[in-house]
Amino acid sequence: MGLRRNVGLFTGLRYQGKGPMLTYILHRIGGLGIIIFVATHILASFAGGTVGVFLNTVYEHWLFQIFIFFCALFHAINGLRIVILDLWPKLIEHQREAIWVEWAVFLPVYAIAVMVIVRTALGG
């Protein structure tokens, strides 16, 4: 089980994998964002009190909503691509096209959501 790795974190970050690498990085950021949000959300409603109320005001802030909706939506759409390509390995030939489709779905949906969030925040 011992793995030998000769690449450090910062060398790894300089790897230029282009499109697929970007989805990989964003998938990780999105996943970690969801974990932090869901864990604190469950613990806040478990603990209650002033901590719970404070965390609720954080969740309801429009900046946080823009961030967490990015995490959730990108993780969900990119995850669906990974599931489809992994369960039907022959489709891996079309990975780059799949990533283009993924952005074509993600960008409009996310743009509409951001517009709604910002308009609600501005009181409209």
From 13-21, 75-83, 90-98, 103-111, give the range in contact with another protein by CB under 8 A.
75-83
In this complex, which beta carbon is closest to another protein, that of residue 1 or of residue 122?
A: 1
**Least gap, CB of 71 to another protein (angstroms):** 12
Residue 4 lies near another protein (rule: CB under 8 A): yes
Rounded distance, CA 36 to CA 43, Å? 11
C-beta separation of 95 from 20 below 8 A: yes
Q: Which is nearer to another protein, 56 or 96 (CB)?
A: 56
Binding mask 34-73 for another protein (x = CB under 8 A): xx--xx--xx-xx-------------------------x-
Class of residue 108 by CB neighbours under 10 A (exposed 0-12, middle 13-18, buried 19+) = exposed
Residue 27 and residue 48: Cα distance in Å, rounded? 31
